[in-house]
Amino acid sequence: MRNLILLLFTFSFGGMLFAEAPKYSNDFMYIGVGANNFGMGNAVVASTNDVTAGYWNPAGLTKIPNKFQMSFMHNEYFASIAKYDYFSFAVPLDSNKHAFGASFLRFGVDDIPNTLDLLEPDGTINYDNIKSFSVGDYGFMFSYANAMVKNLSVGATAKVIYRKAGKFANAWGFGIDVGAIYTIKDWRIGLTVKDITTTFNAWSYSFTDREKEILQQEENVIPKNSLEITLPRIQFGAAYTKVFKKAELTAEMDWEITTDGRRNTLIGTNSLSFDPRIGIEAGFFKIFYLRAGVSNFQKMKADGQSKAKMTVQPNLGVGLRFKTIAVDYAYTDVGKASNNQYSHVISAKIGFNKRKAKSSNELIGSPEQPIINENNQ
């Protein structure tokens, strides 16, 4: 039982001891947000235009269709052992050229038994000594966007990261994301550089003498205060949107480029790894939406096979919108090489006070007509 807590430490914090090996650092910040985005395989860097843009590409905040918008999401992994929650809101500012947003997310595992004190000093078992604790990763994001010139918006997101494992370990970190979206008729080109400054997490640990003694008896290394770094990653994409009389279609392809060395992606070098994402969304009557996407291209070996095959993560989603309220659902499978590793994602989005265009025939935030303030009509 003692090994359980040690396994959890390894699972959650295995990469944090060595600043020179930052791969997969703060990966909870890259899971994604919004069931509508999961349904498209998270290929939304260019097309994002709602409150979740503060996470994906802050430049997209200038395109939200309401004067105030907020979103909620809940997701569960590993048979509901791990829970992932998200909340955000966004507010366009003066003349709709500026927008501000704030987001919060948490990925955590709760009620983990702490068995370090299961044995008394005399060797007897005392189940009353078992206490529970939580491992939680928290992200606080504050975003600002500016429609600098016609067809070009830019934005930035400041991130504060807090990670905690019961009373044993905690870390504080800070980083910045920047993004831009450029519109050309029915096309949008999006670019986001996450952790552009490199994000640093300062870890500190606290163990009693008794806990240190138990860990040493199990031949475990007692971690020391350390610094963990997260290197920048680039997300680039192009989206095409076609609006029909009673339907609209959006298709996007993104590339995520990580800079922390070779990963198991479609294309990898010793320094960079390239991971594509493809998504499509079809909307009908501005009420019902169907989504599909593929992502997470990896080479994996199936049981009994010596040669690795390319696998992908399929994603499906549906959405319903009534006026300024939207409810979205996504189904995500982590790949054919793994069984029953799927997740159901549900999110809701609510807007208040719709922003008006110059005429009723113009689409809010469309490529041809930027959003304007109703007082400036």
d(CA 7, CA 356): 54
pLDDT score recorded for residue 336: 45
Q: How confident is the model at residue 207 (pLDDT cuts 50, 70, 90)?
A: confident
Burial label, 122 (beta-carbon count in 10 A; 0-12, 13-18, 19+): exposed
Structure token digits, residue 316: 């499906």
Long-range pairs for 260-268 at CB < 8 Å and ≥24 separation?
260/22, 260/23, 260/24, 260/25, 260/231, 261/23, 263/23, 264/298, 264/299, 264/300, 265/297, 265/298, 266/297, 266/310
- Cα distances from 137 to residues 123, 161, 190, 256, 350, in angstroms, run 35, 8, 28, 23, 26
Structure token digits, residue 276: 């594509």
Structure token digits, residue 212: 């240190």
Q: Which residue has the higher pLDDT, 308 or 39?
A: 39
pLDDT score recorded for residue 80: 80
Contact between 67 and 55 under an 8 Å Cβ cutoff? The reply is no
293-299 mean pLDDT: 89
Closest by CA to 35, choosing from 4, 74, 2, 8, is: 74
pLDDT score recorded for residue 118: 76
Least confident of 78-82, 97-101, 227-231, 325-329: 78-82
Residue type, 13: F
At residue 242, does pLDDT exceed 60? yes
Closest by CA to 260, choosing from 280, 239, 231, 284, is: 231
Domains of the chain: 2-376 (2.40.160.40)
- pLDDT, tens digit (0-9, with 9 covering 90-100), for 266-282: 898 998 999 999 999 99
Q: Helix, strand or coil for residue 212?
A: helix
DSSP string, 154-168: EEEEEEEEEEEETTT
Find tokens 């995500």 and name the residue: 332
At residue 365, does pLDDT exceed 60? no
340-350 mean pLDDT: 84
Q: 360 phi and psi, to 5 degrees?
A: -70, -15
- pLDDT, tens digit (0-9, with 9 covering 90-100), for 315-327: 999 999 999 999 9
Q: For the chain, first and last CA: distance in Å?
A: 68
- CB-CB neighbours of 228 under 10 Å: 22
pLDDT score recorded for residue 1: 38
232-253 mean pLDDT: 96
Alpha-helical segments (H) within the chain: 2-13, 35-39, 53-56, 209-217
pLDDT score recorded for residue 65: 87
- Find all residues with CB under 8 Å of 184, minimum gap 6, and list them: 151, 367
- pLDDT, tens digit (0-9, with 9 covering 90-100), for 99-150: 999 999 999 999 988 887 777 777 788 787 788 889 999 999 999 999 988 8
At residue 38, does pLDDT exceed 80? yes
- pLDDT, tens digit (0-9, with 9 covering 90-100), for 168-197: 999 999 999 999 999 999 999 999 999 999
d(CA 17, CA 224): 8
pLDDT score recorded for residue 246: 93
